[in-house]
Amino acid sequence: MSASPLRVGIIGVGMMGADHADRLVHRTAGAELVAVSDPDAARAAALAARFAGVRTVGDPLELIADKDVDAVLIASPGFAHEEQVLACVEHGKYTLCEKPLTMDSESSLHVVEAERNKAGRPLIQVGFMRRFDPEYARMKRLLDSGDFGRILLVHNTHRNKTVPETFRSEMIVSDSLVHEVDVCRWLFDDEIATITVLAPKPTGRAADGLLDPQVAIFQMAGGGMATTEVFVNCQVGYEVRCEAVAELGNVTVGLGQDVFVRSDDHYGGHIPDDFRDRFARAYDLEVQAWVDASRRGEVVGPTTWDGYAATAVCTAGLQSLATGRPVPVDLADRAEILRGAAT
């Protein structure tokens, strides 16, 4: 591992980017936040002012190219990712790119190929932070231990207390369900072959026209299956649960029982509203793992392929949401792309 700290630049300092800045400075070992870039120059300046020694850079591509920036954390809006990630590949910068990798399958595949063919080695980690959540990680280890036999089914629950009025039915697939897409691909270690997205009669608590909740069914290439409820106006809090059912037993995460209270005729505990509370540790561990790996010259966690596959599944999911029918996922041949990289 490099003896000196990793010099990190952040692109995009909205909610997530600012959160990551705090994380890098206050809770991450071996990292130094050196530069930030945001189209909103005032916002960038305000953030930089909160820390010692952080520059603002107007042009994100300039930040990426900067020789004093070792690694780049991309927290800009999704539509800006493609250009920025490709620039990172070009400059050989280790990159943590918030999901989605890009806005559509084609451009995501382009990134996969660029990384393979131009960089010739992995550089990009995609921000599916759940893989770093201690509970999810423990579940994965238990399933991989072989003690439970083959994994057969996964049941996911993904609920938000409420969402803004601007949240559209499609975003339930592309912004919410995308996490379960990655979780299931990871747990099964397999691709999703077919996706069905069904919409029951919506809750009266959602904005008019929002298909909320939705129920998705994944059929894995190897025969496994997953069911997922996404309900973004559940009125209760942020609840993410996952039960993996294997041949010899089942494992559940997200029950969220820590501090236990008895008061006012009931027992139980608090369900926080904010996903950043629920996944605070996951984000911390994700960023620490990224910093550590970058200093070792490695990449860990979700790859560009994972980012591409998630986008491809969600694309099919949107089609299914529109028709109510199962839609096969159109995925490039991974082996072929890997061969491409070698040539």
* Binding of a second copy by 341 (CB under 8 A): no
Interface segment toward a second copy; rule CB under 8 A; list 37-45, 165-173, 174-182, 196-204: 196-204
38 or 135: whose CB is closer to a second copy? 135
Give the count of residues interacting with a second copy (CB under 8 A).
77
As a whole number of angstroms, the longest Cα–Cα distance in the chain is 68
Give Cα 227 distance to the centre of its chain: 19
Q: Which region among 163-171, 174-182, 198-206, 301-309 touches a second copy (by CB under 8 A)?
A: 198-206
Binds a second copy (CB under 8 A): choice among 145, 166, 257, 343: 257
CB of 249 to a second copy, least distance (A): 3
Query: Which distant-in-sequence residues (6+ apart) come within 8 Å of 283 by Cβ?
Result: 19, 20, 23, 129, 132, 276
Cβ burial of 54 (10 Å; 0-12, 13-18, 19+) is buried
Q: How far is the CB of 157 from a second copy (least distance, A)?
A: 8
- Residue 145 neighbours by CB distance under 10 Å: 8
141 versus 334: smaller Cβ distance to a second copy: 141
**Residue 179: Cβ-neighbour burial (10 angstroms; 0-12, 13-18, 19+):** buried
Which residues does residue 124 pair with via DSSP β-bridges, in sequence order? 95
If residue 96 lies in a helix (H) or strand (E), which one and from where to where?
strand 94-97
Residue that is written with structure tokens 């990793």 in the block? 6
CB nearer to a second copy: give 65 or 198: 198
Q: Which residue has the tokens 């608590």?
A: 205
Of residues 13-52, those binding a second copy (CB under 8 A): 24-31, 52
Closest approach, Cβ 51 to a second copy, in A, equals: 9
Q: For residue 67, give both structure tokens.
A: 């020789």
* Residue from 15, 261, 322, 338 in contact with a second copy (CB under 8 A): 261
146 binds a second copy (CB under 8 A): no
**222 contacts a second copy (rule: CB under 8 A):** yes
Q: Does 135 bind a second copy (CB under 8 A)?
A: yes
By C-alpha distance, which of 136, 128, 134 is closest to 314?
128
Shortest Å distance, C-beta 340 to a second copy:
31
In sequence order, what DSSP letters do the residues of 108-161 get, joined into one string?
HHHHHHHIIIII-S--EEE--GGGGSHHHHHHHHHHHTSTT-SEEEEEEEEE-S
Considering beta carbons, is residue 53 or 340 the nearer one to a second copy? 53
CA dihedral 96, 100, 104, 107 (to 10 degrees): 0
Provide the minimum distance between the beta carbon of 217 and a second copy in the complex, in angstroms, as a whole number.
7
Which of the residues 160 through 189 are near a second copy (CB under 8 A)? 161
Q: Which of residues 227-256 bind a second copy (CB under 8 A)?
A: 227, 229, 231, 234-237, 239, 245, 247-253, 255-256
